[in-house]
Structure 1
């Protein structure tokens, strides 16, 4: 049987990792592509081939084939417990940590002095809207914590959409127990004694 792919492990969580939004997005993209974007292929890898040989009498009657074969419940549960939920947990931890970094003070912001100089220059600026209607315009640079917060909000929205889609496919192929992905992941975290990130 072909083994399903595994997601990359969570990176070392540091503020520098979070502020490097390219590295953050790369981790999320690679993790999603390894598991969620290839969920059908991963689930197909769980289907055990027929143990009996080919039966020629099976071709005497035409019967509609199901679009996708149901997966063995034990294999399905093992996939969820060993591959899917750990991948989701790793991404949740990264997003939660980076959201915390985005809401914390940032004493190491390299652009803090530049922003402060721009604000001082703006306070000294003469605004005369009669002569120049655009003279009141001032667009200060966003602190990197606000930029990070914006990225995290967007990625959390993407994560919700990806997990909903993946869980729908898992429900079709493995049989649905009526739980949402949030409920199933919460139960898995509870069983593993993990924080509800």
Structure 2
């Protein structure tokens, strides 16, 4: 397929997930390669000179979305099956793996001792709100698993929005009336064999 290519899946390790910058960068790069440039990727699938050049086509500016040529169904199918869905599946695999890491115990948490010390100190603290109204405030450090869980939750929401927007353009140009969830599940089912 011209234009787009799927992003390589990273090595899935807890260290990858806990490196939130690396995780965000992978998701951003994968989305920018396929979803953010979906119009260009779909335009690259057209073969404009198949019927020959029509000089009258330049007489009027084509701004109507109906004037866009639809893409050959086989070409569309190839793009969806070989580029779009594998990219989505890779991101789903990463998010699912990291969600599992976020819900697992984390014996290697570097801030665990510090949080336990703060918690013990907080239990022993005497608070006199009359003298210091802000002394009752205590903001415990968030465990890195909690931080990762929040990141995964946010990224899944972003993923839903991006896939809906991308699929809107794909279905408009390729004539696919199914939802992106149904199309992706159908692709997953056909690739399990």
Which category describes the TM-score, using the shorter chain as reference length?
over 0.9
Q: Deviations over 1:149-197 (max 9, x none)?
A: 0000000000000000000000111112x21101100010000018xxx
Q: Match for residue 170 of structure 2?
A: 170
Aligned residue for 1:185, secondary structure, equals: helix
Unaligned 5+ runs, structure 2: none
Unaligned 5+ runs, structure 1: none
TM-score (norm. length: structure 2): 0.92
TM-score (norm. length: structure 1): 0.90
Q: Are 2:58 and 1:88 aligned?
A: no
Closer, same or farther: CA 54–137 of 1 in aligned 2, 3 Å: closer
Range that drifts further, 59-68 or 89-98: 59-68
Closer, same or farther: CA 121–48 of 1 in aligned 2, 3 Å: same
Superposition RMSD on alpha carbons, in Å?
2.3
Cα shift at 1:64: 8.9
Closer, same or farther: CA 101–71 of 1 in aligned 2, 3 Å: same
Output aligned runs, 1:70-149, within 5 Å. Answer: 70-149=70-149
For 2:8 and 2:171, locate their aligned partners in 1 and report how far apart those are by CA, in whole Å. 25
